[in-house]
Amino acid sequence: MTLRLNGDSSGFTEIKAPNTAGDNSITLPTSNGGANQLLQNGGTAGALQYTSAGNGLHYDSSGRLLVGTSSDFTNGTGTKLQSVDAAGGQIALGRDIGTLNTGNLVGRLRWYGNVGGTQQETARIAVEADANHALNDKPGRIVLSTTGVGDSSVTDRVQIGSDGALRLLAGCPGIDFSATQPAGDAGTTMSTETLDSYEEGDWTPAVKDAGNQGTWSVTPQRCRYLKVGRMVSISGVLTGIGYSTSASPPSSYLQITGMPFTKVNGSFSCGPARVNHLTFGDTSYLNIEPITGSATNIMYLRRSINGSGGADFQATSIANGSAAIVFQLTYEADDA
236, 327 Cβ separation under 8 angstroms: yes
Query: Which region, left, alpha or beta, applies to residue 5 given φ > 0 means left and ψ of -120 to 50 means alpha?
Result: beta
Rounded percentage of the chain residues whose pLDDT exceeds 70: 75
Given a cut of 60, whether residue 14 has pLDDT beyond it is yes
Looking at residue 206, its pLDDT comes to 92
Closest CA to 209 of 303, 320, 286, 283: 320
Looking at residue 330, its pLDDT comes to 92
Looking at residue 107, its pLDDT comes to 93
Model confidence at 59, pLDDT cuts 50, 70, 90, reads low
Looking at residue 84, its pLDDT comes to 58
Given a cut of 70, whether residue 68 has pLDDT beyond it is no
Distance CA 249, CA 281 (A): 19
Instruction: Give the residue, 308 or 58, on which the prediction is more confident.
Output: 308
- Full DSSP string of 281-307: S-S-EEEEEEEE-TT-S-EEEEEEETT
Given a cut of 90, whether residue 304 has pLDDT beyond it is no
15-24, 150-159, 172-181, 269-278: range with highest mean pLDDT? 150-159
Whole-number Cα distances in Å, 313 to 5, 160, 241, 280, 304: 97, 48, 14, 7, 11
Looking at residue 106, its pLDDT comes to 94
Given a cut of 80, whether residue 237 has pLDDT beyond it is yes
Looking at residue 236, its pLDDT comes to 95
Model confidence at 247, pLDDT cuts 50, 70, 90, reads confident
Given a cut of 70, whether residue 257 has pLDDT beyond it is yes
Out of 100-104, 170-174, 332-336, pick the least confident: 332-336
11-15, 141-145, 300-304: range with highest mean pLDDT? 141-145
Looking at residue 187, its pLDDT comes to 72
Q: Average pLDDT in the 234-253 region?
A: 88
Q: Where are the domains of the chain?
A: 105-172, 199-332
140-149, 214-223, 324-333: range with highest mean pLDDT? 140-149
Looking at residue 63, its pLDDT comes to 57
Q: Average pLDDT in the 22-37 region?
A: 72
Given a cut of 70, whether residue 17 has pLDDT beyond it is no
Instruction: Give the residue, 182 or 19, on which the prediction is more confident.
Output: 182
Q: Average pLDDT in the 84-92 region?
A: 70
Contacts of residue 83, Cβ cutoff 8 Å, sequence gap at least 6: 68, 89, 90
Q: Average pLDDT in the 167-175 region?
A: 88
